[in-house]
Structures are given as structure tokens and as C-alpha cells.
Chain A
Amino acid sequence: MSDMRKFAGLAGIATVVVLVVSFLLPGEPLMIDDPDADILAFFVDNRGRILLAQWLTFVSVIPAILFSATSSSDYVLPSGRIPCLQWRR
């Protein structure tokens, strides 16, 4: 169990690292009011980086699901109830 939780923690950190890299990889992002020519140049100039960033985003799902599946028991009360779904009288 302890090893699984360590694995979950590492998976969560890996998720964040991969997502940050994929966010930064395409280079300086455009603003919504930039001219169409700049947007076209963004796609043409950064084609490889954008495609790699997309692949990394797909890859980030693997550690994210591992993290979620192994750490979700921390949200449960010892009684087995989920705190945010309890109605207090």
C-alpha cells in the first residue's frame, strides 16, 4: 500500500511536469486580437512543437489516471462516506 501511494505521488508530479512542458512547448502564445497572418505564421513556424505538445498532453493522461485511481481514498471518511456529499442536519 505504501509503495502504491509513493507511486501515486510520483505519478501526480509527473502529470504536472508533462502538462507544464506541453503548455510551454508551442512557444509564445498569441493574443485573440492578433492579425490572421500572425496566427497562420504561428501554426507554420511552430508546427513540430505544437504536434509534440499535443502528444505530451495525451501522454499526461496515463500518470493522471494512476494518480487519481490510487489517491482517491484520501477523500473518504473512516465511516466510508464522502464528506462533500454528506448532508448535515
Chain B
Amino acid sequence: MLTVASLISITAVAVVVIVVSAILAAGAFEASHGLDETSARLYFDLAAIAVNGPLITFGAFGLFSGWCIVARGAFPKWCGWLGILAGVLGVAGSAMLGSEGTFALVSPLVILPTLAFLVYTLALSVMTLRSPNANS
């Protein structure tokens, strides 16, 4: 059951990341078909606003998996706290992006949660690699 839940959550993360990437790619694709400045601005703004999606889904994944790791103890607790920190940064960054009206592909509100999520995923991967029997 948890495998299904985990797959659904990671699929949600993947879908929203793909949406942002696809909007930018659509703009790039149109660049060879007479893209004008107004349309370029539209593609860029859509991608900037869509960044909210990855932040929220990254955040949810970090919060709940981090919480489970802290409680379960299969991995070091700092790894779980790192996930919770990434989750809080993601959800808070997403909320502040909307309320401040500063949607952007490049902003500390986007970069910090993204970096935290990548470091957290990397840490989880290394822990998984180094502890072959963590669940036993």
C-alpha cells in the first residue's frame, strides 16, 4: 500500500516538473516557427507560475517522508529532519510566491527549496545504498 502511495507522490512530483519543462520547451519549439515577443512572454510567465506545482509536491514529499524517517529510525534522524526542512521550504516558498506576486523561475523562494529537495533525495539515495538491510 505504501509503495502505491509513494509511487503516486513521486509521480505527482514528476508530472508537475514535466509541466514546467514542457511549457518552456513549447516556447523553444515555437522559436523556429515565428515566435513573437508577446507569445514568448506568455510561455515564460506560464512556466514561472507553474513552478508553484513542483514546490508544493516536493514539499509534501519531503514533509511526510522526512516525518516517517524520524519516527521509523531506519535512517539517521538528520536525514528525516532534512526532508522536513525541504518540505517546509517548499510549501512556504510556494505560498510566498503567490502572495508576494513574485512568480519567477529564478528566485531564492524557488532555488532554496529545490536545492534542499535535491540534497535530501541524494542523502536518501546514499543512505539506501550504504544500508542494504535498513528495513530488517
Contact = CB atoms under 8 A, between A and B. Distances in A.
Nearest to B122: A16
A1 to B, nearest CB: 8
Given A13-B126, A36-B38, A61 B14 contact: yes
B116 to A, nearest CB: 12
**A contact patch SS:** helix
A12 B121 contact: yes
Contacts of B40: 36, 39-40, 42-43
B41 A39 contact: yes
Contact of B29 (A32, A51, A82): A51
Interface in B1-51: 2-3, 5-7, 9-11, 13-14, 17-18, 21-22, 24-25, 27-32, 35-38, 40-41, 43-45, 48
Given A31-B106, A57-B21, A83 B132 contact: no
B124 A26 contact: no
A69 B106 contact: no
Contacts of A15: 121, 125
A29 B37 contact: no
Nearest to A19: B118
B22 to A, nearest CB: 6
Interface of A: 1-2, 5-6, 8-13, 15-16, 19-20, 22-23, 26, 29-32, 36-37, 39-40, 42-44, 46-48, 50-51, 53-54, 57-58, 60-61, 64-65, 67-69, 71-77, 82-84, 86
